[in-house]
Amino acid sequence: MSDAGRRTRLVGVMATVIALGLLAGLATGAGGFSPLGFWADVQGRDAGLILGQIRAPRTLGALMVGALLGLSGAIAQGLFRNPLADPFLLGSAAGSGLGVVLVLAGASIGGASISLATVAWMERVGLVAAAFFGALAGVAMTLTLARGAVHTLRLLLAGVVVGVLLGALSDLVTIASPDALRGKQAFMLGSTSFMGWDALALMGAGLVPLLVLAWRLARALDALTLGEDSAMSLGLDLARVRLALVAMLSLGTALAVSQAGLVAFVGLVAPHLVRRHAPGRHGWLLLASAGMGAALLLVADVISRALIAPQELPVGVVTAVLGGVYLFWLLKQRTAR
């Protein structure tokens, strides 16, 4: 089959999985996956509340978070020319975790020792804002330590250093305020259960321009695959392009993490699946990775809600298991060759 045919087939498969995932998400409630129950919910008095305010925003939220992570993962792998790069590479995950822990610790301390006005201010800021700005702050620290985005190796090493440092600070805060540990654990495992229509509007406002910018910068990523010297000979301003890519990667990751926590492996696996089944240039890879990420997280979200209903698994645990099994199988296949 030609490359164009493989891409067309992959688009059809992803569209089918996304459509079925959306329907399955609407049909999965407290009792697990139930198509008959879904039909009863549609006809019931509380259909607007159950479907319109709980299941629909959660299901669409999983789709958007997956798309943001898939797109961010493809940008990271293209930027670093490394198939093991993921969206959390530049300190965004550690920054988000620290922001969440600081808010949780401040609220727990504030209940006993600071004014009610300060506690109310913390509640207004919220965990979403803390995770979002924490992710951006982590990447900003990485850029400062690396002195910009000129050298990818220096940027990569700076991201590792910042991640370790902020992770250690987060652990110190939880030692000083043990009440924050449970909230941190829930954030680290990932969840789509708290998303509403306002969260969808925020993610949509970020996802659409990111997709447009990714399409426009796809040729720059194609040039980077040829090497830095070749890219510069084509007139590419490497420092400017890398800074733009880092900004896009940071914004996409921050939006996803602030709404769903640290959902593992989606940003790493989605570009791998696209390259394996329908390789192409970065214009195709970026958009297809967003679609693949959306499909993967939709499936994982339905599994997390239905597997042990009425209880629920953290969606980050499901994606970690599925992604880990896939990468293990892929590595074993390549080793066998």
In order, the DSSP letters of 179-220 are THHHHHHHHHH---TT--HHHHHHHHHHHHHHHHHHHHTHHH
* Separation between Cα atoms, residue 137 and residue 139, nearest integer Å: 5
- Quick: pLDDT tens for 173-205: 888 888 777 777 878 888 888 888 988 999 999
More confident residue, 122 or 137: 137
Percent of the chain at pLDDT exceeding 90:
42
Round the average pLDDT of the chain to a whole number and report it. 85
Q: Would you state the pLDDT for residue 114?
A: 41
Q: Tell me what the mean pLDDT of segment 64-70 comes to.
A: 96
Radius of gyration of the chain measured on its C-alpha atoms: 21
CA 308-314-317 angle, 5° bins: 100
Q: Would you state the pLDDT for residue 32?
A: 77
Q: Would you state the pLDDT for residue 336?
A: 64
Among candidates 207, 267, 253, which has minimal Cα distance to 96?
Answer: 253
Bridge partners (DSSP) listed for residue 29: 32
What's the distance, Cα to Cα, between the start and end of the chain in Å?
Answer: 23
* Separation between Cα atoms, residue 184 and residue 55, nearest integer Å: 25
**Which residues fall within 8 angstroms of residue 138, CB to CB, at 6 or more apart?**
90, 91, 92, 93, 94, 95, 96, 98, 162, 163, 166
Please name the residue that has the structure tokens 């080793």.
Answer: 335
* Separation between Cα atoms, residue 239 and residue 236, nearest integer Å: 9
Q: Would you state the pLDDT for residue 7?
A: 92
CA 53-54-56 angle, 5° bins: 80
Q: Tell me what the mean pLDDT of segment 135-159 comes to.
A: 88
The CATH architecture annotation of domain 3-336 reads Orthogonal Bundle (1.10)
Helix (H, G, I), strand (E, B) or coil at 93: helix
More confident residue, 120 or 262: 262
- Quick: pLDDT tens for 2-31: 778 899 999 999 999 999 999 999 888 777
Listed by start position, the domains of the chain span: 3-336
**Which residues fall within 8 angstroms of residue 184, CB to CB, at 6 or more apart?**
97, 100, 101, 104, 170, 174
Does the pLDDT value for residue 103 go beyond 60?
A: yes
Does the pLDDT value for residue 151 go beyond 90?
A: no
Q: Quick check: 187 and 131 in contact, CB under 8 A?
A: yes
Q: How far is CA 93 from CA 59, 62, 252, in A?
A: 23, 18, 12
* Separation between Cα atoms, residue 191 and residue 307, nearest integer Å: 15
